[in-house]
């Protein structure tokens, strides 16, 4: 999320979709395309992916602490 402001101010996600990230795509879907449901689904997918990655990282750390 830290890079969202830089993308929004400097390039607005362009040219095309060359400099977009997930946070900017969710913002654009909700506020520029008026598709709040799609943006909400994108946000939920991002949360699920972050939780899966966190679970793998926690499992790896736990294995290293046991060894």
pTM over 0.75: no
Neighbours of 43 (CB within 10 A): 15
Element (H, E) at 4: helix 4-10
pLDDT in tens, 21-65: 788 788 888 988 999 999 999 999 999 999 999 999 999 999 988
Answer whether residue 13 shows pLDDT above 60: no
């Amino acid at each position: 999320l830290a890079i969202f402001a830089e993308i929004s101010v400097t390039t607005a996600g362009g040219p095309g979709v060359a400099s977009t990230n997930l946070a900017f795509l969710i913002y654009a879907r909700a506020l520029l395309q008026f598709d709040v449901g799609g943006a909400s689904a994108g946000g939920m997918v991002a949360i699920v992916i972050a939780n899966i990655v966190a679970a793998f990282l926690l499992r790896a750390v736990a294995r290293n602490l046991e060894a």
